[in-house]
Structure 1
């Protein structure tokens, strides 16, 4: 394998690496990449959120349980429903970036994911 092929393989692995965090060997090798953390904290991923219909229901239930969570939000949805995002933060929850839109990161060109994460 030539040097260009090695560089290309390395870039492909770097691009796809985070998507492999669900694999047991990767979780054992890199637990922080797999999102292992405080067992008293819930991480919720809303692939299409924040959503003005469902997010308030989750907020109400989390409040009832006295639980704080991390909400992974999409930038394009937060742009459409900023007040719903603000209500998450006002309730004491953590807001994290899930991307700008819900595209398959493994099928998009390298660099686009980073650009969209920055935009979000």
Structure 2
């Protein structure tokens, strides 16, 4: 993604996540969102999307706000805070939407995804700046 403005990319991805979080989900309207006994009760069909989506969002925000290599952890903390905040905000917005609902479990998975994404970005950026790295 050479040449792409990291801030614009983070904002655009956040917008995609928000819009995707508000559209109707056909399986949710039909009653049973998953086959019985396949996954734990707290794991819904969309859990993977929450985890991956907020991991990507946190990584993009972390990259967008990082100014210097020695500020990786501070940037990651901000990335986690922003992504988790967006996730919680989306849950609040979903509460009154008839085909959506507020779920603490989704908010928690969003936070876990944010930590994972920011952590991966920190590790990748640390590795890319290590002596002997050729990239």
User: More helix by proportion, 1 or 2?
Assistant: 2
Shorter-chain TM-score tier: under 0.3
User: More strand by proportion, 1 or 2?
Assistant: 1
Which one scores higher on RCO, CA 8 angstroms, separation ≥ 6?
Answer: 2
Question: Please, what TM-score do these two structures have when normalized by structure 2?
Answer: 0.25
